[in-house]
Amino acid sequence: MTKILEKVDLSENVVKMVLDAPAIAKKRKAGQFIVLKIDEKGERIPLTTVDCDPEKGTLTIIFQVVGKTTAKLATLKAGDELMDLQGPMGRPTHLEGIKNAVCVGGGVGVGVVYPIGAALKKLGAKVTSIIGSRNKELLILEEEMKGISDNLIVTTDDGSYGIHGFVSDALKTLIDSGEKIDEVFAIGPVPMMKAIAAVTKPYGIKTTVSLNSIMVDATGMCGACRVAVGGETKFACVDGPEFDGHAVDFDLLASRLRMYMTQEKESMDNYRCECHGK
Amino acid sequence: MENNEKKEKKEKLPRHKMPEQDPKVRIHNYNEVPIGYSEETALKEASRCIQCKKPGCRTGCPVGVDIPAFINLIAEGKFIEAAWKLKEDSALPAVCGRVCPQESQCEKFCILGKKDEPVAVGRLERFAADYERNSGQVKIPELAPKNGKKVAVVGGGPAGLTVAGDLIKLGYEVTIYEALHKPGGVLVYGIPEFRLPKSIVEAEINYLEKLGVKVVCNAVIGRLETIDELFAEGYNAVFLGVGAGAPVFMGIPGENLSGIYSANEYLTRSNLMKAYLFPEYDTPIVKGKNVAVIGGGNVAMDSVRTALRLGADNAYIIYRRSEVELPARSEEVHHAKEEGVQFKLLTNPVEYIGDENGWVTGIKCVEMELGEPDQSGRRSPIVKKGSEFVINCDTVVVSVGTNANPIIPMTTPGLDTNKWGYIVADEETGKTSREGVYAGGDIVTGSATVILAMGAGKKAAASIHEYLSKK
């Protein structure tokens, strides 16, 4: 069992949790994720590790409520326990040799790009960050991102805060301003990562994306998370989750992410009914 | 003379069948198909054994169970004693009695089988183990005094459970590190409830824990801790029994369409995550109406029979060779046929067809014919020209084998693997290229059977004991 030490609501649907997980905290590196299962009847879901403190033995996760499991997770409080926590999983982010980095985060993806930016900053790289969300209320981790970035650009789709537009527009403007860029890290919804890769490709700027495919075991034994990269099938859990954004088949990823749409809705509807019953 | 008469008489007794659930009923539930012997039938079947002086059955058993002895105890009505006898050699008798291919092991060497049918060793093993578990009189055997040495077992499947069971009895402190949230390996994620009830696996693992084996779940060795770190923590030896869990895909067009599963994923969702109980359990699974399973092994049979129980109208096995070459146990093929599985033999997929949403709608297949036998004696299938046709389906399960999982070799310097990524280990001792590191089961041999993994575990445990006794 894993104890929840702290829970903070970052926005209407986004929650931060600090977990008591000393063994994982000791090993976890930026870019890696965990798999959790709330209780006996629960499913296994992958979540990126946003931060960790090896001394205190704590691990931080950020998640967005999108279905039953995340909705149920969001009802838990400090002091509650999770039945299973497995990690750290996946390959750590490759950070060596990067002097000028741009970290792009969309929506809850800001939580995933944050540890990469933080690790790059620690290694002495210049970090420019572009973060965005649909509107002002949904923007997360602005202060944290400011703390690790040499320059922070904020966008909102509706213009309620920062620059009016998408993060991909802001990136294009940045590139065209002549900013020197060794690598772009882009993490967020599939259309956003696809758009970022399309922006950087003509300029030949290396672009790394973190793929959020459906996972079950996350140890490489099932292939649920398979993605096509450069025409080859890869397992995001062991070969990734980070890949070359210019080689990823985003349309395939998007269609595979819709595989359980009906069941996910059924599960969420059932859960809502049960909750109203109480 | 008297002995001969006794022999004659016994041979005339027919082998006793196990009652089974009606196929029409059982495709709507996940309950076990064979119901098991009654006490009366077990007594009768056990009395068929002629108690050979040099029992061939025992040499045919990869873990060397003293078969005549336990069967004799059943024949005497000493059912619990029979179970205890079994447990001297096997860590998981209730499992083995159910899933071992006895026809190619113990029962193959039974002398009665020469003229008549062999003694039903597997069914009797199952009977004794079930009897003990149901009686609640599970005996804890005498353990050697603690010797102060620690062994880490990586992987809680059949090989690892056997190593743990043997070493704990010899006085070692044993910890199993399991990557998933439940130990058991293929016994919990792979073999379905209707062949092996999960409560039985749980009971067998509880027994090991009662003996003192520690089980740590959610521990992916290689990521959470490396093999070197385990030694640094004070382990004196490590056994690797991580299996060959990585699924193989055929690499044909359309393989990543929605609705196409590896057998590992399909079975893990259904068995480990209990997706067949969705939405009571949270993990979903696609309940296809027309389900095609590619492959002809036991895993393919498990998948196709799962598809039927999930409500498929049509469930197909697509296999590129003919019926005689099907690698699955004949009992499983028989059960699948009884349940209405349709066999598309001498058929091979060449491409998957999908709709505008990226969902599979059919498989383009070719007909095959068998050519001359190759070097291994198997007749290789050859494509019949111009034979392309389409099988319509909305769900596909690919069950064409597994590869070695790379995580441990990737993170363990000095651990040799062969060109397929399997760990190189001595067949008799389980010794790897790293001192103090032993390996066995599918991660050494590639996909094989539960009992062969247990046999490898048995040998490795003996060799770990020898190595640590000298240290």
A62 and A152 in a single domain? The answer is no
CB pairs under 8 A between A and B: 119
Interchain contact, B249 vs A84, CB within 8 Å: no
Domain of A12, CATH number, reads 2.40.30.10
If phi > 0 it is left, if psi is from -120 to 50 it is alpha, else beta; for residue A86 that is: beta
pLDDT at residue B377, as a whole number: 74
Lowest mean pLDDT among A155-164, B79-88, B127-136, B375-384: B375-384
Shared domain check, A55 and A145? no
Residue A212 lies in a domain: yes
Of the pLDDT bands very low, low, confident and very high (cuts 50, 70, 90), residue B447 is confident
In a domain, A274, yes or no: no
Same domain, A151 and A248: yes
Q: What does the pLDDT look like over A20-31, one tens digit per residue?
A: 999 999 999 999
Query: Do A140 and A60 belong together in one domain?
Result: no
DSSP string, B185-199: THHHHTS-TTTS-HH
Of residues B378 and B192, which shows the higher confidence score?
A: B192
Query: Which residues make Cβ contacts (< 8 Å) with residue B302, sequence separation at least 6?
Result: B190, B191, B192, B195, B263, B267, B332
**Under 8 Å CB-to-CB from A209, ≥6 apart: which residues?**
A185, A186, A187, A193, A196, A197, A242, A243, A244, A245, A248
| Domain B246-401 listed as CATH 3.50.50.60 | yes
Question: Mutate which of B188, B217, B256 to test chain A, going by most A C-beta atoms within 10 A?
Answer: B256
Q: Does residue A38 or residue B101 have the better pLDDT?
A: A38
Percent of chain A at pLDDT > 90 equals 93
Query: B23-135: what CATH class?
Result: mainly alpha
Return the pLDDT at B374: 79
A275 is in an annotated binding site: no
Region B91-104 average pLDDT: 91
pLDDT of residue B12: 65
- Would residue A12 count as lying in a domain? yes
pLDDT beyond 70 at B7? no
The residue among A27, A7, A41 whose CA lies nearest residue A271 is A41
Q: What is the mean pLDDT of residues B372-381?
A: 81
Round the average pLDDT of chain B to a whole number and report it: 93
One domain for residues A207 and A106: yes
More confident residue, B141 or B108: B108
For tokens 């326990």, name the residue.
Answer: A81
Q: Which of A221, A251, A252 is closest, CB to CB, to B264?
A: A221
Domain boundaries, chain B: 23-135, 150-244+404-470, 246-401
Radius of gyration in angstroms for the set of CA atoms belonging to chain A, rounded to a whole number: 18
Residue scoring higher pLDDT (B312 or B5): B312
Question: Is the pLDDT reported for residue B20 higher than 90?
Answer: yes
Percent of chain A past pLDDT 70, that is, above it, reads 99
End-of-domain residue from the set A59, A89, A119: A89
Confidence of residue B371 (pLDDT cuts 50, 70, 90): confident
Does residue A123 sit within a domain?
A: yes
- For strand A163-164 and strand A151-156, is the pairing parallel, antiparallel, or unpaired? parallel
Residues A120 and A245 in one domain: yes
What does the pLDDT read at residue A275? 67
- Strand residue runs (E) in chain A: 2-9, 14-20, 33-37, 45-53, 58-64, 81-82, 84-89, 100-106, 126-133, 151-156, 163-164, 183-187, 206-210, 226-229, 232-235, 242-244
Domain range enclosing A55: 2-89
Is residue A265 a part of any domain in this protein? no
Q: Is the peptide bond before B284 cis (omega within 30 degrees of 0)?
A: no
The residue type at B38: S
Q: Which amino acid is at A247?
A: A
In angstroms, rounded to a whole number, what is the distance separating the alpha carbons of residues A117 and A51? 11
A103 is an annotated ligand-binding site residue: no
Residue of B nearest to A217 (CA): B180
What's the gap in Å between the CA of A83 and the closest CA on chain B?
9
Task: Give yes or no: residues A85 and A105 share one domain.
Answer: no
ipTM score assigned to the predicted complex? 0.94
Residues A81 and A121 in one domain: no
H-run or E-run covering B47: none
Last residue of a domain, one of A39, A55, A89: A89
Give the CA angle between residues B411, B415, B420 to the nearest 5°.
90
Q: Is residue A76 part of a domain?
A: yes
**Residue of A75, A14, A76 whose CA lies nearest to A50:** A14
Chain B residue numbers with beta carbons less than 8 Å from the beta carbon of A37 are: 181
> Is the model's pLDDT at A124 over the cut of 90?
yes
Same domain? A60 vs A170 = no
Put simply, whether A233 touches B (Cβ < 8 Å) is yes
Tell whether A52 is in a known binding site: no
Whether A58 and A170 map to the same domain: the answer is: no
> Between these two residues, B123 and B375, which has the higher pLDDT value?
B123
Residues B320, B303: Cα–Cα separation, whole Å: 17
**Same domain membership, residue A238 and residue A123:** yes
Q: What is the average pLDDT across B433-441? A: 97
CB contact under 8 A, B223 and A88: yes
Which stretch of A83-97, A237-251, B341-355, B400-414 has the lowest confidence by average pLDDT? B400-414
Average model confidence (pLDDT) for chain A? Answer: 94
Token pair 């000493």 is at which residue?
B78
Close Cβ partners of A187 (under 8 Å, ≥ 6 residues apart): A104, A105, A106, A109, A110, A112, A113, A116, A193, A209, A210
Q: Which residues of B touch A (CB under 8 A)?
A: 179-181, 189, 217-220, 223-225, 245-247, 249, 251, 255-256, 258-259, 261-262, 264-265, 268-269, 273-274, 278-284, 286, 357-359, 405-407
For residue A35, the chain B residue with the least C-alpha distance is B218
Q: A260 contacts in B (CB within 8 Å)?
A: 284, 286
Interchain proximity B265–A233, CB inside 8 Å:
no
pLDDT of residue B347: 97
Q: Do B23-135 and B150-244+404-470 agree at the fold level? A: no
Phi, psi of B312 (to 5 degrees): -65, 140
Q: Are residues A124 and A253 in the same domain?
A: yes
pLDDT tens per residue, range A247-278: 999 999 999 999 999 999 889 888 888 765 54
> What mean pLDDT comes out for the span A99-108?
95
- Judging contacts by C-beta atoms under 8 Å, the chain B residues touching residue A227 are 256
**What residues in A contact B246, CB-CB < 8 Å?**
220-221
**Amino acid A276: pLDDT:** 59
Chain B residue with the nearest C-alpha to that of A234: B256
Confidence category of residue A182, pLDDT binned at 50, 70, 90: very high
**Cα(B397)–Cα(B349) distance, integer angstroms:** 12
- Residue A68 domain flag: yes
Flag whether A225 is marked binding: yes
Q: Is residue A202 part of a domain?
A: yes
Fold of B150-244+404-470: FAD/NAD(P)-binding domain (3.50.50)
Res B132: pLDDT: 93
Structural domains of chain A, count: 2
Q: Residue A226 sits in a domain of what CATH number?
A: 3.40.50.80
Last residue of a domain, one of A25, A54, A89: A89
Contact call for A68 and B282, based on CB within 8 A: yes
Residue B3 has pLDDT above 60, yes or no: no
